[in-house]
Amino acid sequence: MVFVNLLIKPFWVFGIDRTVQNRVGETEYGLYFAIFNFTYLFQILLDFGFQNYSNREVAADNKRINELLPSILMFKTALFLVYLVLCVAVAYPLGYLSKPFIWIILGNQILLSFNIYLRSNVSAHQHFITDALLSVLDKLLMIVFCGMLIWGNLPSFPLSIFNFALAQLAAYGITFIVCLFFSFRLAEKLVFGFSLQDFMKIAKETMPYAVIHFLMTTYYRIDGVMLERLQGANGAAESGIYAQGYRIMESLNNIGYLFATILLPLFAYRLSKKTEINTLLKSGVSIIFSVSVSLIVCLFYYKTDIMQLLYSTGNVAYSAEVFGYLLLNFFPVAILYVIGTLLTANRNFKLMIYTLIIAVILNVSLNFYLITNFGAKGAGQATLITQLFMLCTYSVYCIRICQLSVQVKFIIQLLVFAALCLLAVVSVHKIHFSANGLYDLAIHMACYFALIPFIAFISGLINKQTFQLKVGAGE
């Protein structure tokens, strides 16, 4: 799954999505970005934790798919109607309904939710290769369809945001049919029906996950909407500039997400057996710290060159500054993927929910002030402050709840690694390979990242024991 995601998704992000923004312009794409984030805010209504519930139940007993698949499909159908009504009701006063592509984006969100749920049945049956291929099928189809838009020169289907969203709808629709086919093949007999009692039972069990997901999505996605709203006539353009850096940050965050999916069962197993978790937690922090810090140091140092290379923007310096703030967000987010996963495995839902409510209030308040005064740069600053608040709070929770000891030696190793990364990027930059700026940038970055494994071992942050993330003794 990691391999196919790293193969397909980067090309979608930087080859297709970035190219579309460059072609249609910051303003038009910025409006699309704001409306996409708006529809994403309410996505929890489309799932409500059914994916995790079904995955757990069907994995424990494969025959459960016979009753759960038709029931949950009926539940999700009812929920997407609620989702549509709510989105339309909120979008109307915002003026978003005047944009025809909002209906296509809503359709995309609905199909995406169904696809993710249907895939959970495939993974619950341990058909991991099939699940991995289904996870990238929509993006692969989008690359084909949107590639035709960009480079096909089709007179009847020119490149526009509307057609861009329509191409994604076609990809999600085909993927839905394929996912439905594989899910139905796994079931022996399907009986469709709607039981309010079953719905309430599942909703009760999944409520904590749903609330946490909604709150995280709110403070993670609302900045794009507020930016477009608060900046008035310049809002769409500012949102477009913000989307340039956000795209890269979100791509980096996939690393943390994939790492969290590995850590969750490991933490859950050790907590259930009441075995020590210090070693596993230290390994997780060491790995994600070395990955995030090395990436941030390099990309931040070359942020202006990167923005100039990727985007045809009129103000490279401003875009680079916005990107810098978003890039710094990757550090707290990456570490949160580790300690947040530990709190989730330990089922500390109340603490997480209370903290997330404060984070949402903090983020919205900061966005109101900073976006009004500083635009896209302010949105990046608000997000960074919120993420640092979450990191500090969750770290305190983990130390107290799990009775962890803070090792001075480990802190020194983290600081030494960061300092050596800074020294490496500055030293490598002083070497001139050619007069070609792009070639020089590529060689500089390649040399820098080639040094990172050695820096990690020299600092003592990474060793042979770090990667021994076993579930338990003898397993």
- pLDDT value for 197: 78
| CA gap 422, 448 in Å, rounded | 10
CA distance 144 to 156: 17
- pLDDT of amino acid 455: 94
Look at the chain and report how many structural domains it folds into: 2
Residue 440 lies in a domain: no
Rg (CA), the chain: 23
What is the spatial distance between Cα 147 and Cα 292, in angstroms, rounded to a whole number? 31
What's the per-residue H, E or C state across 353-412?
HHHHHHHHHHHHHHHHHHHHHHCHHHHHHHHHHHHHHHHHHHHHHHHHHCCCCCCHHHHH
**pLDDT computed for residue 433 by the predictor:** 66
First to last CA, the chain: 22
Asked whether the predicted pLDDT for residue 474 surpasses 60, the reply is: no
Q: How many C-beta atoms surround the C-beta of residue 357 within 10 A?
A: 14
Which tokens hold the place of 276?
A: 């020590």
pLDDT reported for residue 275: 79
Q: Which of 113, 123, 132, 1 minimizes the C-alpha distance to 58?
A: 123
Give the pLDDT mean for 350-358: 94
pLDDT confidence band for 71 (50 / 70 / 90): confident
Return d(Cα 275, Cα 354) in angstroms, integer: 28
150-167: average pLDDT: 90
73 and 181 in a single domain? The answer is yes
Closest to 101 in 3D by CA, of 145, 35, 154: 35
The DSSP output letter for 346 is: T
Q: What is the pLDDT of residues 252-262, one digit of tens each?
A: 888 887 788 77
Q: How many C-beta neighbours within 10 Å does residue 253 have?
A: 17
Q: How many CB atoms lie within 10 A of CB 77?
A: 12
Name, in order, each residue with C-beta under 8 angstroms of 411's C-beta and a sequence gap of 6 or more.
none
Q: How far is CA 88 from the centre of its chain?
A: 25
**Do 144 and 212 sit in the same domain of this protein?**
no
Dihedral of alpha carbons 36, 37, 42, 47, sign: positive
Helix (H, G, I), strand (E, B) or coil at 274: coil
Residues 248 and 332 in one domain: yes
Distance, CA of 390 to chain centre = 16
Across residues 292-310, what is the average pLDDT? 93
Q: Are 167 and 106 in contact (CB under 8 A)?
A: no
Backbone angles phi, psi at 100, to 5 degrees: -60, -30
Contacts of 90 (CB under 8 A, 6+ apart): 38, 42
Q: Select from 406, 424, 454 the last residue of a domain.
A: 406
Q: Check: CB of residue 239 under 8 Å from CB of residue 25.
A: no
Q: How far is CA 159 from the centre of its chain?
A: 26
Q: Are residues 128 and 265 in the same domain?
A: no
Same domain, 219 and 159: no
Answer yes or no: is 443 within a domain: no
In a domain, residue 417? The reply is no
Going by C-beta distance under 8 Å and a sequence separation of 6 or more, which residues neighbour residue 370?
377, 378, 379, 381, 382
- Percent with pLDDT over 70 in the chain: 94
| The dihedral sign for the CA sequence 453, 457, 462, 467 | positive
Residue 475: the pLDDT is 43
Residues 190 and 233 in one domain: no
Q: What angle do CA 389, 293, 424 make, to 5 degrees?
A: 145
d(CA 367, CA 224): 10
Higher pLDDT, residue 422 or 469:
422
Q: Tell whether 182 and 224 lie within a shared domain.
A: no
Domain match, 167 and 219 both: no
Question: Which tops the pLDDT comparison, 422 or 51?
Answer: 422
Global confidence as pTM: 0.85
Let me know whether 220 and 168 are in one domain. no
Indicate if 163 and 294 belong to the same structural domain.
Answer: no
Residues 95 and 242 in one domain: no
Burial class (CB in 10 A: 0-12, 13-18, 19+), 292: buried
Do residues 33 and 179 share a domain? yes
Among residues 23, 24, 86, 26, which one has the least CA distance to residue 227? 26
Q: What is the pLDDT of residue 441?
A: 85
Predicted local distance difference test score (pLDDT) of residue 423: 96
Worst-scoring range by mean pLDDT, 46-60, 178-192, 306-320, 418-432? 46-60
Is the confidence at residue 64, as pLDDT, over 50? Answer: yes
With beta carbons less than 8 A apart as the criterion, state whether 33 and 161 touch: no
- Residue ending a domain, choose from 352, 373, 406: 406
Residue 434 confidence (pLDDT): 62
**Burial label, 400 (beta-carbon count in 10 A; 0-12, 13-18, 19+):** exposed
Q: Is 471 within a domain?
A: no
Q: How confident is the model at residue 473 (pLDDT cuts 50, 70, 90)?
A: very low
The alpha carbon of residue 74 and the mean position of all alpha carbons in its chain are separated, in whole angstroms, by: 28
Q: Which domain does 30 fall in, by range?
A: 1-194
Lowest-confidence pick of 32-46, 188-202, 215-229, 311-325: 188-202
Q: Does 160 reside within a domain?
A: yes
- CB–CB of 313/232 below 8 Å? no
Other beta carbons within 10 angstroms of residue 351's beta carbon come to 15
In the predicted structure, residue 49 carries a pLDDT above the cut 90: no
Does any domain span residue 461?
no
Q: Assess if residue 429 is contained within a domain.
A: no
- Residue ending a domain, among 391, 406, 421, is 406
- Residue bearing tokens 């109307």: 92
Q: Is residue 71 part of a domain?
A: yes
What's the pLDDT at 83?
94
- What is the C-alpha separation between 359 and 355, in angstroms, rounded? 6
Q: Which class for 66: exposed (0-12), middle (13-18), buried (19 or more C-beta within 10 A)?
A: middle
